[in-house]
Amino acid sequence: MINELVSKIKKLEAPIVVGLDPMLSYVPEQVKEKAFQEFGETLKGAGEAIYAYNTAIIDAIHDLVPAVKPQIAMYEQFGIEGMIAFQKTCAYAKSKGLVVIGDIKRGDIGSTSEAYAIGHVGKAKVGNNEFQSFEEDFITLNPYMGADSVLPFVKVCKEEKKGVFILTKTSNPSSGDFQDRLIDGRPLYEWVGEKVNEWGLDFMGDDYSYVGAVVGATYPAMAEALRKIMPKAYILVPGYGAQGGAGKDLAPFFNADGLGAIVNSSRGIIAAYKQEKYAQFGAENFAEASRQAVLDMKEDLKQAWVK
Amino acid sequence: MINELVSKIKKLEAPIVVGLDPMLSYVPEQVKEKAFQEFGETLKGAGEAIYAYNTAIIDAIHDLVPAVKPQIAMYEQFGIEGMIAFQKTCAYAKSKGLVVIGDIKRGDIGSTSEAYAIGHVGKAKVGNNEFQSFEEDFITLNPYMGADSVLPFVKVCKEEKKGVFILTKTSNPSSGDFQDRLIDGRPLYEWVGEKVNEWGLDFMGDDYSYVGAVVGATYPAMAEALRKIMPKAYILVPGYGAQGGAGKDLAPFFNADGLGAIVNSSRGIIAAYKQEKYAQFGAENFAEASRQAVLDMKEDLKQAWVK
């Protein structure tokens, strides 16, 4: 799957993943009204509104980008109906040829991590049958609990040729509370980066590893150090746009081959129609606004990766 | 809710939480067969088998313990049907008067953490309506992303009078990979403990805080230091029994008032019928075996908290 992701990024010249993090407040009124008319102002109504919103955006951008990244929290907030929307969104994105990165940030002790892995990137055995629940190709993981919380995910991914991105230096302002603290003279996130590299060398695709890292666009200087520590890890880069990162600042995330990073934008793409810049599209053409925002992001990112 | 938890622990003399982590392999054959006959060897069959297993155990132990802790990974592995079993299990436990600790180990950036909080301990707004999805009273959180990933959960908990347990020193063998690394001469888990204390003092119940910590039974010496760092935090203690911790070793987790810790046992209770010690019950009386295992655990733990 890492080979497929890299090949799509090259072909499309777009190291871009569109974050499908649908706050209900992003969903245009006409989409919400249609869902609420059919299902009421209920959790099902919310799930259906989100799913309709997502599919319109996927239809508008699937030929431009290699991947989407649904953020499961935005679905989980609506309970079972939200999780159904998450599952349908993953399946719809797959049907359109997109790589699906499930932003789930899970992590637990051994057998429990394996259970998460089975649900998200593996297959559950029930009697003599096997079932795939959520059709994700990659998932994000939290490393706080150490190797034996991460490696059960890697084990399942090896069986399924799927991959992980491990939180290393996250994009949020407080990420430094623990991640920046110095251990033997080096910040914790670099020690996590060392482990990402070590785990990843044992699970390589053609040029890059199935074990990647999450490093926030908001911290390019730190990315420069991490890029060297884990040269074979693909870096998933959140925090572009809305959180402050810009294309010209992202060069340190990429390797000399122009590869090695995939930049996420969520609100900046899916709620583009709310920005003054794309106001001419109007709420009724929200998906076309998203398409234009992807095209603009693609141009902006060339400052980072075209060598 | 922390006051209710403390008062139940005192009344029942049982600082015990039963971990509802149902591997399908724990579920007795007759329970599985009944579910599979009705729903097939399907994800729904698995979910129904787990739910039937859980309700029988809850019926057998609800008058002995203050709380249960469903581990969401064990449900999430079966996709939507598993999540339905999780939701129903939480609701059934509530209906029997139990405090529900959702072991979800979530954590993300601000608005995303808030979305998780809404789904698990808050209420989702859809149009003019509000909905509660998963009826948890407490949830576990992962602190790796720092204050702005934790505080949105605390904010929702304040509105709902619910609480959190923050992973501090976890029970698994690799927990030391990052948690034990020294920062200015003190291990990372102690720095997390300092934050737990700080966040908790701002959200107090009568004697204990709504912000608790997870510290593994497998590390009593570390618990002794953490107990001093965060005197008002309730400690949720996994790793008793199956993972190696024993009652006599758990004194450092408790304060001088005999309170301050609640010890989890999962497999040791819910799959007690599989142990030689409880073999006389047989698989058909698995829930009675669980009841006896709780009574034995209650006695064993007195070595830790009776001062």
Give me the interface pTM, i.e. the ipTM. 0.97
Beta bridge partner(s), residue A140: A165
Measured between beta carbons, which residues in chain B are less than 8 angstroms from residue A33?
Answer: none
Mutate to test the interface with B, among A50, A74, A109 (most CBs of B within 10 A): A109
Beta bridge partner(s), residue B283: none
Q: Which pLDDT score, from 0 to 100, does residue B217 have?
A: 94
Q: Is the pLDDT score of A85 beyond 90? A: yes
Query: Using 50, 70 and 90 to split pLDDT, how confident is the model at B182?
Result: very high
The first and second tokens of residue B282, run together, are: 């047989």
Of all residues in chain B, the one with the smallest CA distance to A179 is B144
Query: Using 50, 70 and 90 to split pLDDT, how confident is the model at B243?
Result: low
Q: What is the mean pLDDT of chain B?
A: 97
Query: Using 50, 70 and 90 to split pLDDT, how confident is the model at B172?
Result: very high
Q: What percent of chain A has pLDDT above 70?
A: 99
Instruction: Give me the catalytic one of A94, A105, A155, A302.
Output: A105
pLDDT of A112-144, one tens digit each? 999 999 999 999 999 999 999 999 999 999 999
Query: Using 50, 70 and 90 to split pLDDT, how confident is the model at B242?
Result: low
pLDDT of A200-234, one tens digit each? 999 999 999 999 999 999 999 999 999 999 999 99
Measured between beta carbons, which residues in chain A are less than 8 angstroms from residue B71?
Answer: 108, 112
Of all residues in chain B, the one with the smallest CA distance to A195 is B177
Contact A78 B124 (CB under 8 A): yes
Average pLDDT over residues B171-196: 97
Q: Which pLDDT score, from 0 to 100, does residue A243 have?
A: 61
- Nearest-Å Rg of the Cα atoms of chain A is 19
Q: Is the pLDDT score of A73 beyond 80? A: yes
Say if B168 is an interface residue toward chain A (CB within 8 Å): no
**Contact status, residue A136 vs residue A90, Cβ threshold 8 Å:** yes
Q: Calculate the CA A109 to chain-centre distance.
A: 23
The overall longest dimension of chain B from CA atoms, in Å, is 60
Average pLDDT over residues A135-158: 97
Listed in order, strand segments (DSSP E) in A132-191 are 138-141, 163-169, 182-183, 186-187
B49 to chain A, closest Cα gap in Å: 11
Contact B79 A143 (CB under 8 A): no
Helix (H, G, I), strand (E, B) or coil at B108: coil
Beta bridge partner(s), residue B245: B240
Say if B162 is an interface residue toward chain A (CB within 8 Å): no
Of A77, A119, A170, the CB nearest to B79: A119
Q: Is the pLDDT score of A175 beyond 70? A: yes
Measured between beta carbons, which residues in chain B are less than 8 angstroms from residue A136?
Answer: none
Q: Is the pLDDT score of A100 beyond 90? A: yes
SS3 content of chain A, % helix, strand, coil (to 5): 55, 20, 25
**Residues found in chain A:** 307
Query: Using 50, 70 and 90 to split pLDDT, how confident is the model at B186?
Result: very high
Average pLDDT over residues B44-53: 98
Beta bridge partner(s), residue A124: A131
Measure the CA angle with vertex A193, ends A217 and B164; round to 5°: 75
Tell me if residue A88 is catalytic.
no
Q: Which pLDDT score, from 0 to 100, does residue B60 have?
A: 98
Of B80, B105, B127, the CB nearest to A107: B105
pLDDT of A244-296, one tens digit each? 668 889 999 999 999 999 999 999 999 999 999 999 999 999 999 999 999 99
Rounded to whole angstroms, what are the CA distances from A206 to A203, A255, B307? Answer: 10, 15, 62
Say if B79 is an interface residue toward chain A (CB within 8 Å): yes
Beta bridge partner(s), residue B16: B263
Which pTM value belongs to this model? 0.97
Q: Is the pLDDT score of A299 beyond 90? A: yes
pLDDT of B92-117, one tens digit each? 999 999 999 999 999 999 999 999 99
**Residues found in chain B:** 307
Instruction: Give me the catalytic one of B10, B34, B105, B123.
Output: B105
pLDDT of B63-81, one tens digit each? 999 999 999 999 999 999 9
**Contact status, residue A43 vs residue B124, Cβ threshold 8 Å:** yes
Measured between beta carbons, which residues in chain B are less than 8 angstroms from residue A195?
Answer: 177
Q: Which pLDDT score, from 0 to 100, does residue B246 have?
A: 80
Average pLDDT over residues B207-236: 97
- Note which residues in 179-218 of chain A have CB less than 8 A from chain B: 179, 181-184, 188, 191-192, 195
Q: What is the mean pLDDT of chain A?
A: 97
Rounded to whole angstroms, what are the CA distances from A258 to A14, A205, A302, A307, B70? Answer: 11, 17, 9, 7, 45
Query: Using 50, 70 and 90 to split pLDDT, how confident is the model at B153?
Result: very high
Q: Is the pLDDT score of B244 beyond 80? A: no
**Contact status, residue B9 vs residue B259, Cβ threshold 8 Å:** yes
Of all residues in chain A, the one with the smallest CA distance to B192 is A178
Q: Which pLDDT score, from 0 to 100, does residue B64 have?
A: 98
* Residue pairs between chains A and B whose CB atoms are closer than 8 Å: 225
- Note which residues in 219-278 of chain A have CB less than 8 A from chain B: 238
Contact B148 A172 (CB under 8 A): yes
Is the sign of the CA dihedral B167, B171, B172, B177 positive or negative?
positive
Query: Using 50, 70 and 90 to split pLDDT, how confident is the model at B307?
Result: confident
